[in-house]
Amino acid sequence: MSKKNNYMIKLGKKAKIASKRLESADLKLKNSILEKYLGYLKRDKKKILKENDKDILYTKSKKNNFAVLNRLKIDSYKIEQMRESIYEIIKFKDPIGKILFSTKRPNGLVVKKISIPIGVIGIIYESRPNVTADVAALCFKSSNAVILKGGSEAFNTNKILSDLFRKAIKNKNFDENCVQFIKNRNRSTVDYLLSNMKEYIDIIIPRGGKNLVQKVQTKSVIPTIGHLEGICHVYVNSESNLNMAIKVLKNSKMRNTTICGAAETLLIDSKCLKTHSKPLLDSLNKMGCKIIGEKILQKYYKGNFTIAKEEDWKTEYLHSTISVKVVDGVNDAIDHINKYGTNHTDTIITKNKKIAKKFVMGVKSSIAAHNASTQFADGGELGFGAEIGISTNKMPPRGPVGLEQLTTYKYILKGNGQVRN
């Protein structure tokens, strides 16, 4: 066995042992460790920012694009956001040991469904250092050990954030191997983790771009949770309030163009093309958003835009660009989304409740919205606390993956001598 592979196996064995200990950790202990971590993040803020500066310089030397640098950069405000996310996690009840279902059979047999930890979770992610703090806290609170493999661009920031978490655990005389960070930039460690560590890791969660997630889902012999892309849609129905449509569209696209919940395609109903297209597109143009639209728009919109190609409906831009498609009613909108979308987040703007219901039930999205921004595709915004990401899997968990979604369950039967006939 090579030195690198031996290192990975040691991580796996340590995580497995730690996960067993975590199963019996009570809420008071888990919260006290998270509170200690909060203190370390505040105390060592300057050290964290110094490590992040190293990552910024490294990433610039690799000539990465704006989206990568934007996700990578942290400041005092973002560190405070990390702390707020963890504080929210502390406030949540223990997700372990909850009675999810209980019934008593005619023969007196009591059946209970109880939430339990998954075990060991492997997280493979890119760019955003806040993921390190968020997922470590979520996994720990849900009594799961975690092995973190961050992107090479955020290596130094991820390392100090995970080291501080381990220090918080050790301070409370618990097993610091509940949280482990793979301390190298070697991509081959990911291949080994995916193909050779099924004995030690129970589930893999990739968080990053399409290439990363596709690689993980293709190569992993371990079950995965995640999504490939966030091609999200805003459908402006003919019965929409124009001012509301403009407000929701601007937020869905431009609030943060680099997140998976950012809108990438605008669908305009043909019945309101004459009245809605110009103000909608003008509102984006004024914010510096590039428009890529169908040729029919030239009849109603005289601003600058590029003629769309088939490929544009399949593109996650992750910057200030949006594709614009004209659709003939709600059924056409649903068909387009289900053909080109990625089952992430899609919204309809309309005053018609019947049409809205048809839309939210018809699209295959893991999150379907009515008169609300696609950028609510975030666990914190939905009241679930910090999240590991969005899952577009058909099987659960689906949508934001937060504390509750990092558990599984078992059935417990309690009898008084019952036997089966």
Q: Is the domain of 248 the same as that of 369?
A: yes
* Tokens coding 168: 């918080």
**Per-residue pLDDT at 156:** 97
Burial class (CB in 10 A: 0-12, 13-18, 19+), 63: exposed
Q: Is the domain of 114 the same as that of 59?
A: yes
CA distance 129 to 145: 19
Q: What is the mean pLDDT of the chain?
A: 94
Q: Is the domain of 20 the same as that of 163?
A: yes
pLDDT exceeds 70 at position 72: yes
- Per residue in 258-307, pLDDT (tens digit) is 888 999 999 999 999 999 999 999 999 999 999 999 999 999 999 999 99
- Given the DSSP bridges, would you call strands 389-391 and 399-401 parallel, antiparallel or unpaired? antiparallel
Q: Please state the φ and ψ torsions of residue 270, each to the nearest 5 degrees.
A: -60, -25
Residue bearing tokens 């080994």: 192
Q: Is the domain of 254 the same as that of 371?
A: yes
**Domain annotation covers residue 420:** no
**Domain annotation covers residue 381:** no
Counted domains in the chain: 2
* Tokens coding 307: 């003629």
pTM: 0.87
Chain length of the chain = 421
* Tokens coding 281: 């597109």
* Tokens coding 164: 């501080």
Q: Is the domain of 242 the same as that of 316?
A: yes
Contact criterion met (CB below 8 Å) for 67 and 320 = no
**Domain annotation covers residue 168:** yes
pLDDT exceeds 90 at position 187: no
Pick from 42-56, 257-271, 315-329, 389-403: least confident: 389-403
* Tokens coding 376: 């609510």
Q: Is the domain of 218 the same as that of 241?
A: no
Instruction: Tell me the Cα Rg of the chain.
Output: 24
DSSP, collapsed to helix, strand or coil, labels residue 230 as: coil
CA distance 101 to 9: 38
DSSP, collapsed to helix, strand or coil, labels residue 175 as: coil
- Confidence grade of residue 1 (pLDDT, cut at 50, 70, 90): low
- Given the DSSP bridges, would you call strands 203-207 and 179-181 parallel, antiparallel or unpaired? unpaired
Q: Is the domain of 86 the same as that of 59?
A: yes
DSSP, collapsed to helix, strand or coil, labels residue 319 as: coil
CA distance 257 to 138: 26
- Confidence grade of residue 377 (pLDDT, cut at 50, 70, 90): confident
**Domain annotation covers residue 390:** no
Pick from 208-217, 270-279, 398-407: least confident: 208-217
Q: Is the domain of 331 the same as that of 405?
A: no
Q: Which long-range contacts (CB under 8 A, 24 or more apart) does 351-355 make?
A: 351/239, 351/240, 351/241, 352/237, 352/239, 355/237, 355/239, 355/330
Q: Is the domain of 32 the same as that of 65?
A: yes
User: Among 52-61, 254-263, 356-365, which range has the highest average pLDDT?
Assistant: 356-365
CATH number at residue 245: 3.40.309.10
User: Which H helix or E strand runs over 190?
Assistant: helix 188-196
- Given the DSSP bridges, would you call strands 179-181 and 145-149 parallel, antiparallel or unpaired? parallel
Average pLDDT (175-180) is 98
CA distance 394 to 299: 41
**Per-residue pLDDT at 379:** 58
Q: Is the domain of 301 the same as that of 344?
A: yes
Average pLDDT (73-101) is 95
* Tokens coding 275: 């009245």
Q: Please state the φ and ψ torsions of residue 298, each to the nearest 5 degrees.
A: -60, -25
**Domain annotation covers residue 382:** no
- Per residue in 188-207, pLDDT (tens digit) is 899 999 999 999 999 999 98
* Nearest CA among 252, 304, 259, 262 for reference residue 281: 304
**Per-residue pLDDT at 291:** 97
Residue 244 or residue 397, greater confidence: 244
Q: Please state the φ and ψ torsions of residue 359, each to the nearest 5 degrees.
A: -65, -55
- Confidence grade of residue 208 (pLDDT, cut at 50, 70, 90): confident
Domain containing 69 equals 3-226+396-413
pLDDT exceeds 70 at position 417: yes
Contact criterion met (CB below 8 Å) for 276 and 268 = yes
To the nearest 10°, report the CA torsion of 335, 340, 344, 345. Answer: -60
DSSP, collapsed to helix, strand or coil, labels residue 355 as: helix
**Domain annotation covers residue 391:** no
DSSP per position, 258-311: TSTTSEEEEEEEGGGHHHHHHHHHHHHHTTT-EEEE-GGGGGT--S--EEP-GG
Q: Is the domain of 73 the same as that of 217?
A: yes
**Domain annotation covers residue 418:** no
Burial class (CB in 10 A: 0-12, 13-18, 19+), 199: exposed
CA distance 198 to 226: 18
- Supply the DSSP symbol for 415: -
CATH number at residue 153: 3.40.605.10
* Tokens coding 114: 């109880």
pLDDT exceeds 90 at position 395: no
**Domain annotation covers residue 383:** no
Q: Is the domain of 19 the same as that of 156?
A: yes
Angle between helices 242-254 and 273-285 (to 10 degrees): 40
Contact criterion met (CB below 8 Å) for 281 and 303 = yes
pLDDT exceeds 90 at position 4: no
- Per residue in 97-141, pLDDT (tens digit) is 999 999 999 999 999 999 999 999 999 998 789 889 999 999 999
CA distance 368 to 376: 10
